[in-house]
Chains A and B, each alone.
Chain A
Amino acid sequence: KAGVTQTPRYLIKTRGQQVTLSCSPISGHRSVSWYQQTPGQGLQFLFEYFSETQRNKGNFPGRFSGRQFSNSRSEMNVSTLELGDSALYLCASSLEGRTSNEQFFGPGTRLTVL
């Protein structure tokens, strides 16, 4: 079974631009969550999608948005990029997003904002 895939793996953008990151979950998984990892901050929860609906949202500004397609693939978008958005963006998939469902993480997209 293929794992969680994320594209692109690396991205360099400049301030003010926007970016779209993609995540393909494990086949059969319906829940996709996104996290931002910055040095010293651990992983910060961005949002979770389940059956094409945002079910949970973290404390990030509205510049961060996402969506999920009918095949469970998910995208996240960051508009008007700031230097502080430089981070590793990880997505995780699980069967149904229940507490007991193991979350499987992708390798992440490393975003650098110049």
Chain B
Amino acid sequence: DQQVKQNSPSLSVQEGRISILNCDYTNSMFDYFLWYKKYPAEGPTFLISISSIKDKNEDGRFTVFLNKSAKHLSLHIVPSQPGDSAVYFCAASAKETSGSRLTFGEGTQLTVNP
């Protein structure tokens, strides 16, 4: 039972344009959502997070949007840069599971072309 799904295994965009990565979840107990970026041969690194009490969080070029009624979140990267090429994982947690347990999606490979 995949509680967090990233339906697009890959996404290709041109440098300078917007990248939009999507994520859907099914567990209504999830109340904290995160995006991680992973380069080959490295562990995932934290990008940005959002609590369920918000619908938007912004950090520089990265913005995460949360639509609780649709159980959907998205990561916008503007403008996209070649260095953003990596696998992006969406993750979720439920406070009652004591916080550190993250449920991840399958990942989306983003390629930003120069």
Q: Which residues on A are within 8 Å of B, measured CB to CB?
A: 4, 31, 33, 35, 40-45, 48, 50, 55-56, 58, 90, 92, 94, 97-108
Contact = CB atoms under 8 A, between A and B. Distances in A.
Contacts of A99: 31-32, 93, 95, 99-100
Q: What size tier do the contact residues of chain B reach?
A: 20 to 34
A109 to B, nearest CB: 11
A5 to B, nearest CB: 10
A4 B98 CA distance: 21
Nearest to A88: B43
Contacts of B98: 48, 55-56, 97
Contacts of A105: 36, 43-45
Nearest to B31: A99
Contacts of A43: 44, 89, 91, 102, 104
